Amino acid sequence: MAEIAKFWRTNEIPTMLQPPSLKHVPRYPVTTFVAGLALAVTGMWWSGQNIDGMVMNGRVWANWELWRALTCTLPHVSIFHVAFNLYWLWTFGTLVERVYGHLRCAGIFLLLAFGSSLAEFTFSHGGVGLSGVGYGLWVMLWILEKRDTRFTDAVDYQTSQLFMFWFFLCIVLTVANVMPVGNVAHGVGALMGALLGLAASSRGAVKWKSIVGLMAVVILGLAGSTVFGHGSI
């Protein structure tokens, strides 16, 4: 027992970096802006206001209203949904913004949102929420913490277990018709996060293959949502 107590006291169990306090909001304008927009749009939706212009539907194909692939990530269906997504957006997003700066962070958010939403609409009827972005940031940081010292301890084992458990649970809930979930957005967001992590931490052929992979995901999602679109207006 003494050895176990010593093990805990000496912090030999790897821990994850803690997110910054909310009093540091001004230091992270991009992450704060996205979170604030999500709260505002979610509040509008819950109060009964019309947000039809923000969700994915056949207009993406008929009128090429591609902004819907971004705005559909803002509304959330429940307290748990918005709390889970915004917690991880703040936890992961602030670290990305601190290391890469505001502009690159915004680009990463936009890329993950756009690619995961287009993929979801390609194979389904589209979804809402920032889950695709969250899964993308999780896998990107999981890769970067092993390859870039600036991201050491960015993701711990328990967090990865949580994301994997939730990923497969959501698939089961969807198949069982208990709760529809944007599983394609989760999976493609994670794939894009892996490619982003490799592109940011590699050189030569691996870097360029990762960039080409990211471009391919976006192009295929764009084609699936527009040229080969299946939605109705």
What does R_g of the chain's alpha carbons equal in angstroms? 18
pTM: 0.89
Find, among 116, 105, 124, the residue nearest to 69 by Cα.
116
| 14-62 per-position pLDDT tens digit | 578 889 999 999 999 999 999 999 999 999 999 999 999 999 887 887 7
| 140-151 per-position pLDDT tens digit | 999 999 999 999
Question: Hey, where are the domains in the chain?
Answer: 2-225
Checking if the pLDDT of 7 tops 90, the result is: no
Exposed, middle or buried: residue 15 (CB in 10 Å: 0-12, 13-18, 19+)?
Answer: exposed
Q: Does the domain formed by 2-225 have CATH 1.10.1660.10? A: no
